[in-house]
A and B are shown apart, each in its own frame.
Chain A
Amino acid sequence: MIQSDMKKTVLHAQQLRKSYGIKGNVQQALRGINLRIVEGEFVGIMGPSGSGKSTLINVLATMDKATAGKVVVEDVDISTMKDAERSTFRCNKLGFIFQDYNLLDMLTVKENILLSISLGKMKKKEVEAKFQQIASDLGILEIAHKYPHEISGGQRQRTSAARALIHEPALLFADEPTGALDSRAATSLLEIMEKLNRQRSITILMVTHDPIASSYCSRVVFLKDGMVYSELYRGSKTRQTFYTEIMNVQAVLGGDHVDPA
């Protein structure tokens, strides 16, 4: 706690509410969520289906508008922005990794990665240098000129990660990034994310239902019925210990992996 006060706040959500539907049949997906993420944190969001984790990431990532409450990213209030402004903000400040990679089929790996900085006015040489750096970090330099359908799922997800990181976003959102990967590819991706987080102090917010994935995080936030249920900090614990703790909370929560009976 002391630690987080000293560091810069990257994202601050206050009393976030989101409801769907029309009068008489309103579904409340978020019922007042407070969340504060500081620079260099690797936050995992967990919770059973319908707990509001997808809604939360959509609202935080400016892809959806909250019904009430406030979201501030790097001292900018994004909850009052217009659509076009939010698009620009999203493009410049945020990075995304999706469960199904969301790469463009007709572009090569390199073209996909460089697409997100194509609107900026960076020099060609700079762009190339950045690409070389991030592609070698993620181990996808050799497949730069291949098309997405020619490479493996893990490579695709690393491409997606490279695309999300190339413009040095303030915050990286990952929505079930390991959901479509086999365990080896998933482990490899998580290790890379952990490394990026530690070495380059990239701030990451990851939604996942997989306790193994969230054991790589520095903090895990549990949601239930649209509210924060509890939080776990990893601190100096080993990943194995942290994993066990996460499993315990999940058992209480009645998560995906626990038999409700």
Chain B
Amino acid sequence: MTTLTLRELVIRSMRSNMKHNYLYFFAFMMSTALYFVFATLANDSLIMAATFKDIEFVLLLKVSGILLVAIMIIFVIYANNVFLMRRSREIGLYQLVGLTRRSVGLLLITENVLLGMGALFIGITSGALVSRLFLLILLKLIDSKNVLTISFSSSAAIQTAIVFTILIALTLIQTLYKVYFTALIELLEGERQGDQPVRPRAVLSSMMGLLGIVLIVAAYLLSNQTLGPAFLLQILVILASIILGTYLVFRVTIGWLFYQIRRIKNGQLGLKNSLSLAPIMHRMKSNALSLTLITVLSAMTLTMVAIAYSLYYSAESEARAMLPYDFIFENNEHDANSFRAELESAGLTFVHQPIEAVRLTGRFGTGTEDRHSILLLAAEQLQASGADIVVPGQGEAIWYSGLRKLLSTERNFNFPQVAYLGTYGGYALINVSEGINRYMMNFNVQGSQLIVSEATLADIRQLIPIVPEQEIVHIDTYQIALMSDRAAASDYYERYIKADKYRPSFYAYYKDAHLKFGLTLFIAGFLGLVFMTATGSILYFKQMAEAEQERNCYTILRQLGFGEREMISGIIRKQLFVFAIPLVIGLVHSFFAVKTVSALTLSDISIPAAIAMTIYTLVYFVFAVLTVRYYSAFLNLKFIV
């Protein structure tokens, strides 16, 4: 008889759980499926290795898997905590009517295990079903024509099962702790009551509130600066300052601001503000930690996705900035000519332009820097090969360096400045008027690229005697008009590359980057999806719990005669704040993070970053709508008078 009742109880409460917590199961299944796909891809290393050659994709997938599990741990524990809180009365009642703690524990465990295992099973199954789709997306991203097939990987399934069983076990421990170590009276009272409202202490809170903002702004300013030699430390300081600042903003600043608004209103708060400002203000203290976590996670996700997206989409322009010429031969006219013959016989359209450059040693920059190799290129010759370039004046040079942004030592240059060319045999002085952030000659050709006019180049060659350090470099450049032709030409070119020399062609370099960043985007995109779902759900669950705590308040408002429409507009305003505050702070954080990172890339990443941020905002908006719906339904349901 007892077992039957218990079983009935389990089934009944499971059914109601499914109805209320569908979002939780959805998020759980989604991340299980995704983890399974990642595990499958990582396990299927043979096929994947053929596609990705030298890229450390297995490592990438493993790291992503760990990130995924980390966010899931936070999410699952948080969600379970909310559920337990909501059910604490029920748990208390079971005990009150005579069920032992043991059987209540058993009831909850059975429920958790069944639901968890169900979600896990569905997750793996759907993971197996959609892994093909995932693979198609990945292949589409990297433009691969290979047909990859993946079969159901039982080792991936086992790995997924183990990881998520551990997750379920964590919730079990949490549940048992609640059942065994909470006094009956506390269970019965539940957590109806939130924190008792406290007035912020005037001086202290305004100081702390300001400190939060100062910390964030300082971090932004710091991130805007050049990354110095101790950039790791710098990043750590920025991160710490941002996180602490965000925490303080949630813990103090927002409450303080809201308090000021209320003070100005002088008691005439109105219904909407009473339902939004007041409860949010009082909950900030206990919500600060989780809101900080959500905000930092959102910012991280946004930054990650924006960077991956922009790296992927700027792969071509980035490659172009690094390798202005499709193919080059340095001091190797023999190979160059036979390559040309091959191109001709294959019927490919191309432009061949030989360039005479001078490589010598010299120094420029501030102070006592070592001499380094300098490559002097004539602007007129480059123009002939189709480069878009201005011819510098007599005795002037323009420095083309794609690394300028990266290397802070070189970044501190002031222009114009004088470069000393040559060695003991003779000096030539040249005025470097400008530095431009890309390459004029493929970056693998040795030497800092200084572009001068042909006349200046001739002068310098006159001035500096022939010494071993000075050499004439003959470069044959090839430009191919069509992308499809480049692939064919690349095959010919490959044969001229000796194993010990690094001579990337534009096509190979671009393909490599495309592949690498395609995979990165794939992983970042799906991780971002899980992160978004997880953080959005946490906010949603938080509101579920708050709806429970505020139910009494809405009953009172009904008794006082407030209409449903007015109350719903109060709820909408509250949700607007609840979702907008972490979103906006997260967006601003990631805006500065993306800005910092964009300094490291050669192309503009603002558009892809903006797209990623828009998607994020939309997803949050959907969650906000879901929450308002839940809230209103919850309060309509409990129409107690």
Contact = CB atoms under 8 A, between A and B. Distances in A.
B267 A119 contact: no
A118 B269 CA distance: 8
B571 to A, nearest CB: 15
Given A118-B269, A124-B268, A84 B560 contact: no
A91 B268 contact: no
B465 interface: no
B354 interface: no
Contact of A114 (B196, B269, B281): B269
A87 B641 CA distance: 12
Interface residues of B, number: 30
Contacts of A88: 561, 563
A163 B279 CA distance: 20
Contact of B566 (A107, A119, A127): A119
A131 B268 CA distance: 10
B563 A111 contact: no
B641 A106 contact: no
Contacts of B390: none
B639 to A, nearest CB: 10
Classify chain A's interface size: 35 or more
A145 B200 CA distance: 13
B282 A106 contact: yes
Contacts of A105: 193-194, 196-197, 553
A116 B267 CA distance: 12
A103 to B, nearest CB: 8
A139 to B, nearest CB: 17
A240 interface: no
B561 A106 contact: no
A209 to B, nearest CB: 21
Nearest to B277: A106
B271 A118 contact: yes
A104 interface: yes
Given A114-B269, A118-B269, A124-B268, A104 B562 contact: no
A205 interface: no
B268 A92 contact: no
A124 B264 CA distance: 12
A149 B196 contact: yes
Max chain B Cβ within 10 angstroms of own Cβ: one of A90, A118, A144: A118
Contacts of A90: 559-561
A49 interface: no
B276 to A, nearest CB: 11
A103 B282 CA distance: 16
Contact of A91 (B199, B274, B282, B560): B560
A188 to B, nearest CB: 23
B641 A58 contact: yes
A94 interface: yes
A113 interface: yes
Contacts of A87: 558, 561-564
B560 A116 contact: yes
Contacts of B281: 106
A90 B556 CA distance: 12
Contact of A118 (B199, B270, B278): B270
B560 A115 contact: yes
Contacts of A104: 274, 278, 553, 556-557
B266 interface: yes
B561 A89 contact: yes
A147 interface: yes
Given A96-B560, A115-B271, A147-B196, 4 more contacts: A58-B641, A103-B556, A107-B269, A107-B278
28 contacts: A58-B641, A63-B559, A87-B558, A87-B564, A88-B561, A88-B563, A92-B561, A96-B560, A104-B278, A104-B553, A105-B193, A106-B197, A107-B269, A107-B278, A111-B262, A111-B267, A111-B269, A113-B267, A114-B268, A115-B269, A115-B271, A115-B560, A118-B269, A118-B274, A119-B566, A127-B268, A128-B268, A131-B267
Interface of B: 193-194, 196-199, 262, 266-271, 274, 278-279, 281-282, 553, 556-564, 566, 641
